[in-house]
């Protein structure tokens, strides 16, 4: 079976949802994949160690380089470039999300993003046999479609992550120059040279 065939992916998704831990209310991920990832969970990033004073002024990032690339591809899949305007990648939405999380005091939100990125890659491995970054555009859409189809299952971390991913992607894009001026074609405040009133010629009322 070709892993990039949309029809096969839809059939695979239906079969997956019948046999996955979703039935048990645990996760959208298949049980074998979750078991295989136990070692990675145990090796989750530890709390950052204190840096020498000389390095304290260096700008740090929330995402690792690999995670940043993954977020770029996730956001671009949600808001892709077209003939009208650039997409999320051109608008540097991943940088916006990185800064938002870096400045956040919500440790639960930060943990959700780290875990969510990990879970998305596991889902892509299941559907496409490769990471999300290396998957085809159709394969990436298939993964996000599963999450979108189950966005009411907010007890699942991958679903909560997807909801936050969409929220920050839209906010980051439509507060960027590309989103505001190229996509929305906002021209800024303008002075009207002449006020044009309503031209409704309906019957006058007493």
Look at residue 181 in the predicted model and tell me its pLDDT: 65
Q: What is the 3-state secondary structure (H, E, C) of the chain?
A: CCCCCHHHHHHHHHHHHHHCHHHHCCCCCCHHHHHHCHHHHHCCCCCCCCCCHHHCCCCCCCCCHHHHHHHHHHHHHHCCCCCCCCCCCCCCHHHHHHHHHHHCCCHHHHHHHHHHHHHHHHHHHHHHCCCCCCCCHHHHHHHHHHHHHCCCCCCCHHHHHHHHHHHHHHHHHCCCHHHHHHHCCCCCCCCCCCCCCCCCCCCCCC
0.85 exceeded by pTM: no
Look at residue 188 in the predicted model and tell me its pLDDT: 67
- The predicted model gives 117-142 an average pLDDT of 96
Least confident of 39-53, 104-118, 192-206: 39-53
Q: pLDDT per residue over 38-78, tens digit each? A: 444 444 455 556 555 544 456 689 999 999 999 999 999 99
- The predicted model gives 14-42 an average pLDDT of 47
């Amino acid at each position: 079976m070709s892993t990039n065939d949309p029809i096969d992916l839809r059939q695979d998704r239906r079969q997956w949802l019948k046999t996955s831990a979703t039935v048990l209310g645990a996760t959208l991920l298949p049980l074998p994949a979750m078991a295989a990832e136990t070692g990675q969970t145990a090796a989750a990033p530890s709390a950052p160690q204190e840096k020498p004073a000389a390095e304290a002024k260096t700008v740090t990032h929330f995402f690792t380089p690999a995670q940043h690339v993954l977020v770029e591809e996730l956001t671009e899949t949600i808001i892709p470039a077209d003939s009208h305007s650039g997409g999320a990648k051109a608008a540097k939405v991943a940088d916006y999300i990185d800064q938002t999380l870096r400045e956040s005091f919500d440790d639960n939100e930060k943990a959700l993003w780290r875990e969510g990125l990990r879970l998305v890659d596991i889902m892509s491995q299941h559907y496409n046999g490769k990471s999300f970054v290396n998957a085809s555009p159709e394969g990436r859409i298939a993964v996000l479609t599963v999450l979108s189809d189950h966005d009411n299952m907010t007890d699942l971390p991958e679903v909560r992550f997807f909801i936050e991913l969409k929220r920050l992607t839209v906010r980051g894009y439509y507060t960027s120059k590309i989103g505001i001026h190229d996509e929305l074609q906002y021209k800024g405040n303008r002075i009207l040279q002449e006020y044009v009133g309503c031209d409704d010629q309906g019957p006058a009322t007493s």
